[in-house]
Amino acid sequence: MGPEDVKKVGVIGCGIMGSGIVEVVARSGGDVVYVEVDDERVARGRGRVERSTATALERGKLSEDDRDTLLGRVSGTTDIAEVADADLVIEAATEDLGIKLEIFRRLDEITRPEVVLATNTSSLPVAELAAATKRPDKVVGMHFFNPPPIMKLLELIRAITTSEETLELARGYGERLGKTTVLSKDRAGFIVNFLLIPYLNSAVEMLEDGVATKEDIDTAVQLGLGHPMGPLTLLDLIGLDTAVHVSNVLYDEFKDPIYSAPTLLKRMVSAGYLGRKSGRGFYDYSKGEGS
């Protein structure tokens, strides 16, 4: 099977990342079915896609007819068996190894043997997910970036078991989606998060030590380094809980203190200050701060 043969895509999970992947697939002309754990989350995922495409319509990025056609390609379900006839499945569930392993075991049972199973994990070992299947050669990492409809990068992660044919399908399909692909070995953090997490952790430590205010740290990075947003605003976008999780995975693998999540970051997660998705992180989004 080649990239041009992928007509229907299954996406497991329709949260912030999953809904973005669903939109990207539908924008490219493919049919996509996403799976969530209950009807409420199915509806919530659909709502994310509808709001995102409504914004694109308002900004002139989509016509009304194109939006209607795009939404017509998207369906949601709580039954994972609905992806049994998919030509490619992309897992975008929560960053929990146990949950992902169970998903891959189930996908291996229900999909055709030739179908590639991809994971959107940002840090977990692709080889472990591949080992949960009887087709380890057909498991690959396809790491999209938030928000997927806008961010052009797609990290491809080749596990030790991933075949060249699988890698080429992932690369070709990524290009069909309009993405620029880069290739990484299967090690924690891959390319981007391996470099990003120490930077973000250092910014939190700088704030914790009182070196500068959150606003001045973000402004300095934006104007001094030319970044589109500062590190603390970026953490709020990523999700502080996600950042702590990725830090923990990196620290477990490399045992380097630069990957250890700062105390302030962990305390904020404990308090439920997760960033934009909870309404409060380093900035308070319920009051419009930082928006």
Nearest to 100 by CA among 78, 126, 129: 129
Q: Report if pTM > 0.75.
A: yes
Check 52, 155, 184, 247 and give the catalytic one: 155
Question: Is it true that 3-185 and 193-282 share their CATH fold?
Answer: no
Is residue 40 annotated as part of the catalytic site, yes or no?
Answer: no
Domain assignments of the chain as residue spans, ordered by start: 3-185, 193-282
Instruction: Please tell me the predicted confidence (pLDDT) of residue 144.
Output: 97
Buried b (16+ CB within 10 A) or exposed e, 136-146: bebbbbbbbbb
Please state, in angstroms and rounded to a whole number, the distance separating the CA atoms of residues 208 and 220: 17
Check 19, 120, 184, 193 and give the catalytic one: 193
Check 52, 120, 122, 201 and give the catalytic one: 122
Check 143, 201, 245, 278 and give the catalytic one: 143
How crowded is the C-beta side of 253, counted as CA atoms within 13 Å?
Answer: 15
The class that CATH gives domain 193-282 is mainly alpha
Instruction: Please tell me the predicted confidence (pLDDT) of residue 57.
Output: 94
Is residue 122 annotated as part of the catalytic site, yes or no?
Answer: yes
- Given the candidates 3.40.50.2300, 2.60.40.1930, 3.30.70.660, 3.40.50.720, the CATH classification of the domain at 3-185 is 3.40.50.720
The residues near 231 (Cβ < 8 Å, ≥ 6 apart) are 199, 200, 203, 204, 217, 218, 221
- The region, left, alpha or beta by phi > 0 then psi within -120 to 50, assigned to residue 165 is alpha
Please state, in angstroms and rounded to a whole number, the distance separating the CA atoms of residues 106 and 114: 15
Instruction: Please tell me the predicted confidence (pLDDT) of residue 95.
Output: 87
Q: What pLDDT tens digit does each residue of the chain (291 aa) get?
A: 888 999 999 999 999 899 999 999 999 999 999 999 999 999 999 999 999 999 999 999 999 999 999 999 999 999 999 999 999 999 999 888 999 999 999 999 999 999 999 999 988 999 999 999 999 999 999 999 989 999 999 999 999 999 999 999 999 999 999 999 999 999 999 999 999 999 999 999 999 999 999 999 999 999 999 999 999 999 999 899 999 999 999 999 999 999 999 999 999 999 999 999 899 999 999 876 654
